[in-house]
Structure 1
Amino acid sequence: MKILVIGASGRVGGELVKQLLADEHQVIGTTRQEKKLFDNDNYTQLDLDITASKESIEKQ
């Protein structure tokens, strides 16, 4: 299953991503950090600040 985790760099989000990857799900994580958080072929990262304005999010 492909799953989006908003806030993958947080404590809860990070643990959730780890568990989902362990269960072999495809995970897309969002974070404001540029460094890739997880070295796993099933993990994709979007650099996204959901606290930004609507226009800024659309550009991201």
Structure 2
Amino acid sequence: MNYITTDIAKAIRRKRADLGLTKKQVYTQLNISFKTYKKIETSGSKIKSSVYQKITNWLAKDY
């Protein structure tokens, strides 16, 4: 299990805003559930390693 830090949560929200994406578009791109995505945007949440990997890959893409 991995934890979402405040910096990661902020980076996710910022990238989503920069790209003009809705929450649904992001969790669909990441291939995760809305419930999991909601946890991700809230810092301090525990998530599976596979989901953490998807998030970090998405954040690194295009940057």
TM (norm. structure 1) is 0.30
Query: Larger Rg: 1 or 2?
Result: 1
TM (norm. structure 2) is 0.29
Larger helix proportion of the pair: 2
Larger strand proportion of the pair: 1
